[in-house]
Structure 1
Amino acid sequence: MLVETHSRHASGLTAARLISALSAIMLGFALLLIVGFASMAEVHNATHDTRHATGFPCH
C-alpha cells in the first residue's frame, strides 16, 4: 500500500512538472512570436513603459 501511494504521488509530481515545463515553453514561444512580428517602435515602447512601471530609471 505504501509503495503504491508513493508511486502515484511521484507520477502526479512528474505530470505537474511536465505541464509546468510545457506551459513555460509555450509562453516563451508566444512571446518570441509576438515580439518577432511587432514593429520595433512597439517593442521599444512596451519595454520602456515596463521599465517605468517597475521603477527602473532609463533617462
Structure 2
Amino acid sequence: MPISTAKHSIATPATLSQRLMVAIGASVLGLSLVYFAGFSHIEAVHNAAHDTRHSAAFPCH
C-alpha cells in the first residue's frame, strides 16, 4: 500500500479591490520609509539612505 505525501491546496484568487488595497498599503509604507530616511534629522539614518542612493547609482544632488 503506497503512502501518499502530496498535499493539495486550493488558491483563491484575490479580488481587484483586495489587490488595490495591498498596492496602496505597500506604496504608503514605502513612501513613509523614504520620507523618514530622506528627511531624518538623525544623521546615521540620513547618511545610510544617502550612501544607499549613491551605491545604486541614483543621483540625489
Greater Cα radius of gyration, structure 1 or 2: 2
TM-score (norm 1): 0.44
Greater helix share, 1 or 2? Answer: 1
For normalisation by structure 2, the TM-score amounts to 0.43
